[in-house]
């Protein structure tokens, strides 16, 4: 199980993940009344972020929960959290609930503000053994509610299906309703028939997968035929190849279905082409991450810096002294503000940095400092 990284976002504040707490009366806890997104991070940048934010906005709209942020603010919060946790490769999780009131009643509360929580998890891509050998899946009856197109936090049926798969020695459960295979408990479903990729159409019983949408783009580039059609269980069992796709799985070949081999029991030729294209796409994205905004900086440069530390005597002086070892501090720009119920002190300051080496050394020193919880 991946471990959460040290810092989380809760209602606009970055705090240690162990200290992130919400009310016991939050409707996410009492009613599973909320929506979420999980997205991969490569090279310190959230992958397909606009697509994930669009889907989150749609989920909130369908649940009639006020979206607490516009896309630019969402991006700023998510990017800040990724940077605070050291960047690199990870997954980011974002959850919005309808909020809390001191009651438990089904109708919407009159004045509760949405609760926003986000955190990051250790992740380095799908296990290489699954990539190399393929995944085993089992079919399970789909007993979910009628609005699976909403990425709701109400996932009890998904949890039970996934647990049934694990207890059967499989990685995923393919959900079946009215004789048709729809999707996995936490993944999109695709099959290959004589070189054509087939995936079920979007609708109320299927979540529109962001990874699946990328695969459609890549298939077009590879000139692979693509069909959106219902997939009966018989069609699933007869498929030349089966794939599952999601944020953390990327795209995996399924090599066993309900204990029986799929095709010759090895990842298929079409999957190998799409997987290679996927990895190349991610590699290009990573290259953009390392040659993007930070690489375009012209030194010397003046940058705003925000640092959060646990409040205590002398924190401001120690932090500014540390910063001054690597940059010129514009003293008149220094501001401070308490946060997290006065447990933390946020210090903002403008600094002049003379070289990329100084910038990297500054952030390395801040990450290593026991005084600093978060810096951006």
In the block, tokens 């070289």 appear at: 355
Per-residue CA distances from 340 to 16, 62, 309, 343 (Å): 10, 32, 11, 5
Report yes or no: 48 and 38 within 8 Å, Cβ to Cβ. no
CA–CA dist 193, 200 (Å, integer): 14
Q: At what angle do helices 210-221 and 49-63 cross, to 10 degrees?
A: 140
Phi/psi at 315 (nearest 5 deg)? Answer: -60, -50
> CA 269 to CA 260: how far, in whole Å?
19
Catalytic residues: 151
- Report the candidate in 52, 40, 37, 50 with the shortest Cα–Cα distance to residue 90: 40
Give the other-Cβ count within 10 Å of 168's Cβ: 15
- Relative to beta strand 172-177, strand 135-141 is parallel
């Amino acid at each position: 199980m991946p471990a959460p990284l040290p810092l989380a976002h809760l209602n606009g504040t970055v705090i240690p993940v162990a200290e992130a707490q919400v009310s016991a009366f939050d409707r996410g806890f009492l009613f599973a009344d909320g929506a979420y997104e999980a997205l991969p991070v490569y090279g310190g940048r959230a992958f397909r972020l606009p697509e994930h934010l669009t889907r989150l906005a749609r989920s909130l709209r369908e649940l009639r929960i006020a979206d607490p942020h516009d896309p630019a603010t969402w991006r700023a919060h998510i990017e800040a959290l990724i940077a605070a946790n050291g960047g690199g490769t990870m997954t980011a999780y974002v959850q919005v609930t309808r909020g809390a009131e001191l009651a438990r009643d089904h109708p919407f509360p009159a004045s509760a503000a949405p609760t926003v929580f986000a955190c990051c998890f250790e992740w380095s891509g799908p296990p290489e053994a699954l990539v190399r050998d393929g995944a085993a899946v089992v079919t399970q009856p789909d007993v979910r509610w009628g609005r699976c197109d909403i990425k709701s936090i109400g996932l009890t049926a998904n949890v039970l299906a996934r647990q049934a798969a694990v207890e059967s020695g499989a990685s995923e459960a393919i959900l079946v309703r009215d004789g048709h295979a729809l999707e996995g408990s936490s993944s999109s479903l695709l099959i290959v028939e004589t070189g054509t990729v087939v995936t079920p159409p979007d609708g109320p019983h299927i979540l529109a997968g962001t990874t699946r949408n990328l695969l459609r783009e890549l298939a077009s580039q590879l000139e692979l035929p693509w069909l959106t059609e219902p997939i009966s269980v018989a069609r699933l069992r007869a498929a030349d190849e089966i794939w599952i796709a999601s944020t953390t799985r990327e795209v995996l070949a399924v090599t066993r279905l309900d204990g029986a081999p799929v095709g010759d029991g090895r990842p298929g030729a079409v999957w190998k082409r799409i997987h290679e294209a996927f990895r190349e796409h991610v590699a290009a994205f990573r290259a953009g991450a390392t040659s993007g905004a930070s690489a375009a900086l012209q030194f010397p440069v003046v940058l705003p810096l925000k640092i959060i530390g646990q409040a205590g005597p002398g924190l401001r002086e120690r932090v500014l002294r540390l910063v001054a070892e690597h940059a010129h501090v514009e003293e008149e720009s220094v501001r401070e503000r308490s946060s997290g119920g006065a447990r933390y002190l946020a210090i903002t300051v403008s600094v002049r940095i003379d070289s990329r080496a100084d910038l990297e050394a500054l952030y390395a020193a801040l990450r290593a400092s026991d005084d600093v919880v978060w810096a951006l």
